[in-house]
């Protein structure tokens, strides 16, 4: 027999996984669902943007450079990446990574918008943690988001950007010699780790996958009497 618990939330259930699964209630309570802290972007600016479609066939790699047009909105600096996602395929799992290049890295922030371009979920840069290099991956900032769109929507939107606050920060990396020593079982040398500064340019990679049998159902963003409830089934 299923046990149901009701929560008040926004139009999307946004779950960020840090390498392990969290209980449904804990994950929802920890999620950055309060979009009031996100940069306020004029609707006209969002409507005029080119939203690049994402699909599940292959990862999308975007190189952000000074040549990209910036988004004119307070709290956002430098170029942005804008994507549209299908909202008819059930639960969406989005893995976003930003690679370290020459001790520089783009610190991503993600704002999720519903099909009417209204803010629905907000993932500031602190949700994307440093991941050590592997056989097929470089040093990177990375996070995994799970989103369940409201039934009836056709698309949702994902905006990636950085901020002036992020540019004032850095990310400490793992020295390659230490990584090699750990991987081979040798003594780890006592040497300082390199530090990557945050910049407005970088390479962002997004992988999208779907699952149609999601157990998380989310109501409309706002009803006539306020935010709609979210029902989570165990």
Among the listed ranges 33-37, 73-77, 128-132, 212-216, which one has the minimum average pLDDT value?
Answer: 212-216
The predicted model scores a pTM of: 0.77
pLDDT the model gives residue 180: 87
Of residues 125 and 17, the one with the higher pLDDT is 125
Tokens for 90?
Answer: 């059930």
Q: In the chain, what are the domains?
A: 9-168+200-211 (2.60.120.380)
| High-pLDDT (> 70) share of the chain, % | 76
Tokens for 224?
Answer: 């006539």
pLDDT the model gives residue 179: 86
Give the list of residues 6+ apart from residue 190 with CB closer than 8 angstroms, or none: none
């Amino acid at each position: 027999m299923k046990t149901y618990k009701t929560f008040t939330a926004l139009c999307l259930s946004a779950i960020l996984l840090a390498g392990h699964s969290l209980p449904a209630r804990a994950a929802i309570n920890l999620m950055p669902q309060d979009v009031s802290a996100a940069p306020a972007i004029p609707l006209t600016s969002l409507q005029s943007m080119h939203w690049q479609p994402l699909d599940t066939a292959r990862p999308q790699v975007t190189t952000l450079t000074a040549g990209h047009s910036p988004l004119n909105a307070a709290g956002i600096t430098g170029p942005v990446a804008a994507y549209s996602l299908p909202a008819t395929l059930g639960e969406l799992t989005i893995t976003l990574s930003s690679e370290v290049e020459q001790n520089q890295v783009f610190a991503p922030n993600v704002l999720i918008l519903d099909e009417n371009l209204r803010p629905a979920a907000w993932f500031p840069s602190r949700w994307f943690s440093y991941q050590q290099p592997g056989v097929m991956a470089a040093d990177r900032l990375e996070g995994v988001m799970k989103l369940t769109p409201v039934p009836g929507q056709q698309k949702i939107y994902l905006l990636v950007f950085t901020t002036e606050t992020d540019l004032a920060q850095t990310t400490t990396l793992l020295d390659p010699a230490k990584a090699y020593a750990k991987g081979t079982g040798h003594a780890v040398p006592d040497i300082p780790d390199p530090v990557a500064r945050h910049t407005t340019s970088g390479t962002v990679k997004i992988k999208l996958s779907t699952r149609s049998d999601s157990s998380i159902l989310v109501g409309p963003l706002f009803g006539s009497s306020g935010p709609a409830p979210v029902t989570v089934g165990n």
